[in-house]
């Protein structure tokens, strides 16, 4: 945005354009830019400014590129461009065993890795027909981990929402609280993200010692910490001015565009797969589905804050179910020896790995056990031919996994229906006709994770 190219002061080389005038802001004095934009010559013309935003931009929530057509401060057209983070996760999964697939799909939506794993593992278990044989403790652990992950993801969403509209304190608060969540994930799964903890047939290991106490402490302190964020944001006049009636999308729009998750619930529809199509025993937990009817960015923020409080309720119920039994006394992996991972993880003299008992067994006692271990670990198990689809309620909406098997030891095709991918389509509808500044709010309120968008 500066003076026409013939009088351009900045820019290293004149740009060749076959059509229209090219404006280049490079190195120009801002006063010249403003003067050029206000010149009667420019004002009277019907030219529109096309501004590129991203893919490396602090406010685009990731490697997302937005092409904006502006009329003054008003966005007349917005076209998102994606694909910068495409890593071929779905293709790679076709070349690894069903169990190894977890390691790939967990990296798709990197803020909600446990949901990717859960959707994929539930789809594989559906193909295997072993849903009823998953141990109760593994299912409770899955729910516990998913709800912890939901809090971590929503804290990032709310924190970066704050950062992107200039409220850095909220960002710091959000990251600080998320760190407490990630500490727990690290304690239980061994990793902060890309956990690969949920496996077909169960979970990789039971809780470590001391985890119950840490979880109880977390449930005790988190409501206060969430309250601190709410005290900063819920009624802050500047925040309300930036988010109320901004990025509007009603139920009809959500239905047409396939939008799910907090955006749909902020439009007033209490659609939550944990309630409507329960999986992992969610029907046995007590929790509410928060909704708002504002259809705007503020409603989505409030829904996310409320959901974190509900997640804490679920976590408390999980902890109650998990406590009272000595750790390791109940199975966390399917009993079926043809599917369940043969070894348990344990801390040996040289670090975490296959349990020393198991190593002793296969290396010096039973040749058959060694063969079994080798076959199951390198070849993997076979999955009956067919296809299945499982949807779980991820922090961003319905995360679906479409798994196709040809009867072999590797997936024939796995498709992740990522909510970020679908929801991001709606940014044009939300932002067109609004101000440039509201584009940032719209993107932040969708909370897309580009790892999930591009896979």
**Binds other proteins by CB under 8 A, chosen from 69, 103, 355, 387:** 387
Does position 404 interact with other proteins (CB under 8 A)? The reply is yes
Q: How far is the CB of 453 from other proteins (least distance, A)?
A: 9
* Residue 220 backbone phi and psi in degrees, to 5: -75, -45
**Binds other proteins by CB under 8 A, chosen from 230, 313, 361, 415:** 415
Closer Cβ to other proteins, 90 or 164, answer by number: 90
Closer Cβ to other proteins, 21 or 338, answer by number: 338
Does position 354 interact with other proteins (CB under 8 A)? The reply is no
Q: How far is the CB of 289 from other proteins (least distance, A)?
A: 13
The DSSP-derived string for 148-215 is: HHHHHHHHHHHHHHHHHTT-HHHHHHHHHHHHHHHHHHHHHHS-SSS---EETTEES--PPTTHHHHH
**Binds other proteins by CB under 8 A, chosen from 170, 287, 410, 443:** 410
Does position 83 interact with other proteins (CB under 8 A)? The reply is yes
Does position 361 interact with other proteins (CB under 8 A)? The reply is no
* Angstrom distance (rounded) from CA 383 to CA 408: 6
Which uninterrupted H or E stretch holds 62?
A: none
Instruction: Sort 281 into a burial class: Cβ within 10 Å, 0-12 / 13-18 / 19+.
Output: middle
Span from 83-91, 114-122, 141-149, 321-329 in contact with other proteins (CB under 8 A): 83-91
Does position 394 interact with other proteins (CB under 8 A)? The reply is no
Contact of 363 with 370, CB cutoff 8 Å: yes
* Residue 139 backbone phi and psi in degrees, to 5: -65, -40
Q: Residue 39 corresponds to which tokens in the numbers above?
A: 């010149």
Closer Cβ to other proteins, 156 or 405, answer by number: 405
Closer Cβ to other proteins, 42 or 412, answer by number: 412
* Residue 159 backbone phi and psi in degrees, to 5: -65, -50
Closer Cβ to other proteins, 275 or 344, answer by number: 275
* Angstrom distance (rounded) from CA 248 to CA 244: 9
- Per CB under 8 A, which of residues 240..299 are in contact with other proteins? 255-260, 269, 271, 276-277
* Angstrom distance (rounded) from CA 160 to CA 444: 7
**Which is nearest to 78 in space by CA: 49, 57, 56?**
49
Cβ-based neighbour number of residue 26 at 10 Å: 11
Task: Indicate the length of the chain as a whole number.
Answer: 455
**Binds other proteins by CB under 8 A, chosen from 135, 162, 202, 380:** 380
**Which is nearest to 305 in space by CA: 235, 398, 419, 229?**
229
Does position 422 interact with other proteins (CB under 8 A)? The reply is yes
Does position 398 interact with other proteins (CB under 8 A)? The reply is yes
Span from 38-46, 107-115, 209-217, 388-396 in contact with other proteins (CB under 8 A): 388-396
Does position 50 interact with other proteins (CB under 8 A)? The reply is no
Q: Residue 47 corresponds to which tokens in the numbers above?
A: 């030219």
Q: How far is the CB of 203 from other proteins (least distance, A)?
A: 21
Using CB under 8 A, count the residues that bind other proteins.
54
Q: Residue 65 corresponds to which tokens in the numbers above?
A: 């590129």
Which positions from 97 to 136 touch other proteins by CB under 8 A, shown as an x/- string? x--x-------------------------xx-x-------
Contact of 410 with 380, CB cutoff 8 Å: yes
Contact of 420 with 109, CB cutoff 8 Å: yes
Does position 69 interact with other proteins (CB under 8 A)? The reply is no
Q: Residue 128 corresponds to which tokens in the numbers above?
A: 């295997």
Beta strands per DSSP E along 340-452? 345-348, 351-354, 386-394, 397-405, 413-417
Q: How far is the CB of 379 from other proteins (least distance, A)?
A: 6
Question: What residues line the site for other proteins (CB under 8 A)?
Answer: 82-83, 86, 88, 90-92, 94-97, 100, 126-127, 129, 255-260, 269, 271, 276-277, 378-380, 382, 385-389, 391, 398, 400, 402, 404, 406-410, 412-413, 415, 417, 421-422, 424-425, 454-455
């Amino acid at each position: 945005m500066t003076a026409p190219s013939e009088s351009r002061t900045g820019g290293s080389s004149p740009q060749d354009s076959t059509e229209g005038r090219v404006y280049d802001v490079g190195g120009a004095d801002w006063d010249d830019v403003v003067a050029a934009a206000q010149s009667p010559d420019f004002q009277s013309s019907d030219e529109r400014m096309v501004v590129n935003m991203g893919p490396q931009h602090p406010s685009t929530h990731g490697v997302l590129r937005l092409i904006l057509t502006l009329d003054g401060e008003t966005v007349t057209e917005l076209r998102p461009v994606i694909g910068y983070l495409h890593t071929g996760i779905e293709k790679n999964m076709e070349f690894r065993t069903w169990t190894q697939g977890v390691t790939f799909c967990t990296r798709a939506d990197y803020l909600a890795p446990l949901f990717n794993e859960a959707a994929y593992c539930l789809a594989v278990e559906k193909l295997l027909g072993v849903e009823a044989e998953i141990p109760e403790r593994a299912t409770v652990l899955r729910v516990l981990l998913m709800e912890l992950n939901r809090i971590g993801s929503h804290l990032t969403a709310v924190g970066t929402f704050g950062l992107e509209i200039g409220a850095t304190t909220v960002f710091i608060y959000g990251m600080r609280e998320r760190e407490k969540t990630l500490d727990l994930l690290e304690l239980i799964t061994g990793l902060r993200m890309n956990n690969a903890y949920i496996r077909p047939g169960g979970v990789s290991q039971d809780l470590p010692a001391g985890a119950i106490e840490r979880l109880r402490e977390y449930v005790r302190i988190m409501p206060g910490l969430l309250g601190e964020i709410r005290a900063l944001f819920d009624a802050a006049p500047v925040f309300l001015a930036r988010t109320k009636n901004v990025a509007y999308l009603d139920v009809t729009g959500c239905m047409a565009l396939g939008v799910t998750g907090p955006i749909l619930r902020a439009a007033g529809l209490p659609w939550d797969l944990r309630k409507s199509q329960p999986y992992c025993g969610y029907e046995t937990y007590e929790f509410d589905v928060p909704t708002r009817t504002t259809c705007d960015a503020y409603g989505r923020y409030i829904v996310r804050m409320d959901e974190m409080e509900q997640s804490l309720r679920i976590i408390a119920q999980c902890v109650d179910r998990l406590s009272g039994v000595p750790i390791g006394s109940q199975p966390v992996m399917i009993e079926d020896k043809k599917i369940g991972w043969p070894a348990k993880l344990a801390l040996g003299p040289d670090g975490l790995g296959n349990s020393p008992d198991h190593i002793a067994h296969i290396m010096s006692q039973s040749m058959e056990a060694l063969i079994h271990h080798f076959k199951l670990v390198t070849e993997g198990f076979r999955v009956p031919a067919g296809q299945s689809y499982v949807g779980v309620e991820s922090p961003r909406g319905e995360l679906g996994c479409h798994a196709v098997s040809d009867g072999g030891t590797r997936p024939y095709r796995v498709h992740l229906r990522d909510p970020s991918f679908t929801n991001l389509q709606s940014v044009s509808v939300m932002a067109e006709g609004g101000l440039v500044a509201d584009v940032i709010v719209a993107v932040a309120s969708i909370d897309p994770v580009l790892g999930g968008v591009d896979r």
